[in-house]
């Protein structure tokens, strides 16, 4: 490849702007999700003190989470 065959670099601003918007949306979503998880943890401690010690929790798979299943019923 020779220098005279190289194409001039151009910044694709449309894609860059879309990626920036998606990143900001994702960061905002994650911030809200973490805030809701912390609030739920606080409510569990206030309403059912000691419940998290009785029911195993934190496997990362929320489809099989016994603590969340218990909270949905109560």
Report pLDDT digits (tens) over 34-49: 999 889 889 888 988 8
Cβ atoms 23, 50 nearer than 8 A:
no
**Low-confidence residues of the chain: pLDDT under 50:** none
**pTM (global) more than 0.85:** no
Tokens of 25: 């949306």
Secondary-structure percent of the chain, ordered helix, strand, coil, rounded to 5: 70, 0, 30
Cβ atoms 34, 27 nearer than 8 A:
no
pLDDT at site 59: 57
């Amino acid at each position: 490849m020779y220098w005279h065959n190289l194409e001039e670099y151009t910044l694709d601003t449309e894609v860059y702007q879309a990626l920036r918007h998606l990143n900001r949306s994702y960061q905002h979503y994650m911030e809200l999700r973490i805030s809701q998880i912390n609030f739920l943890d606080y409510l569990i401690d206030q309403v059912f003190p000691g419940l998290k010690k009785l029911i195993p929790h934190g496997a990362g798979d929320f489809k099989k989470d016994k603590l969340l299943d218990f909270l949905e019923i109560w």
